[in-house]
Amino acid sequence: MRDFFSTLTRAADGEGGGGTPTAAAPAPAAAAPPPPPPAAGAGAAPLAATPGQAPAELPAAAPDYWPEGLDATLKGTNGKASLDNLAKVVKGYRDRDASRDVPDKPEGYYNFENLGDFKIDAKTKPYFDQLPKDPAFAAMAAALHKGGVGRKTALEAYQAGLNAMAEGGLLEPLIDPEAEKALLVPDAAKNAAPAEQQQAVQRRMRENADFLKLMETSRELPADVREYAELMLFDTAKGHRFFEWMRGQVQGAAGGGLQQVAGKGGDAKAALSQEMQQLTREDPKYLEKFAALEQRYKQLHG
């Protein structure tokens, strides 16, 4: 029994009882608990990379902004998917514009090269040649460019309009002012110097203008009719020849020159017209006489 209690005592005091009792060894410290995972939907900080190892890639977050009016079908499951969808749409628009051949500037519609099967008709070619100088087509080109219309479509529409106007008798022939003036050089000035030919043409045109003005003041030709006749016929050689024929008819019926045609106080105007016709730049006092005649013209004709 004694040995039994001795054994219990040694077990309680430590192995090898009988000596000073030894203190019990401290228990090992508990390990720190792992950090909780990030909450769902919350942005997570980038994972730190181990030296020599790339940082772990996080999944893209769903986009939280979408412009008002933008097609919702382009919205992807995340920002990357949305940008990919938009890139496809933009590429489609660019490919379409490239196939339509929309010029960079409105002036690009003046370029008639590489238009596929489009051909300019011979009867409309003069009008296409004049496009760079045509202010009306310049405005049309600006509108076509703004609307994103391709070159071929624009020029096809222009030619179709020209043909329709020609069939309806509404398309006026183009006029070359210099060529028309060349046709008005009088026979007497055919071999003269270019400057003298130009003076002869100007004198011939001025005589017709004076004749029409005289018909207004002495024969009661309405002013708006005279202005219309000048506007429609004065830019062609045939128009001036027509007025010269009229002058011959009127003067022949009157049995004399402009002085006899004038009547009703028109003698002064007819005399002025004749003086203006006779004045040439070769006159040493040309400028002085011209200024005096111009002043008289203003007094008579307003």
Q: The tokens 């977050």 sit on which residue?
A: 61
Q: Which helix (H) or strand (E) holds 10?
A: helix 2-13
Residue the block writes with tokens 């183009």: 174
How far are the Cα atoms of 18, 151, 200, 201, 257 from residue 188, in angstroms, in the given order?
160, 50, 9, 11, 21
Rounded CA separation 106/104 (Å): 7
AA letter at 19 = G
Sequence ranges of the domains in the chain: 72-101, 106-167, 180-301
Q: What is the pLDDT along the chain (302 residues), one digit of tens a residue?
A: 455 445 544 544 554 444 444 444 555 555 556 555 555 444 444 555 555 565 555 455 445 678 888 888 888 888 888 888 889 988 887 777 666 788 999 999 999 998 888 999 998 999 999 999 999 999 999 999 999 999 999 999 999 999 999 899 888 888 888 999 999 999 888 899 999 999 999 999 999 999 898 888 878 899 999 999 999 999 999 999 999 998 888 766 544 444 444 444 445 666 777 777 777 777 787 777 777 777 777 766 65
Whether the model clears a pTM of 0.95, i.e. scores above it, the answer is no
Residue 159 near residue 173, CB atoms below 8 Å? no
Q: Is 57 left (phi over 0), alpha (psi -120 to 50) or beta?
A: beta
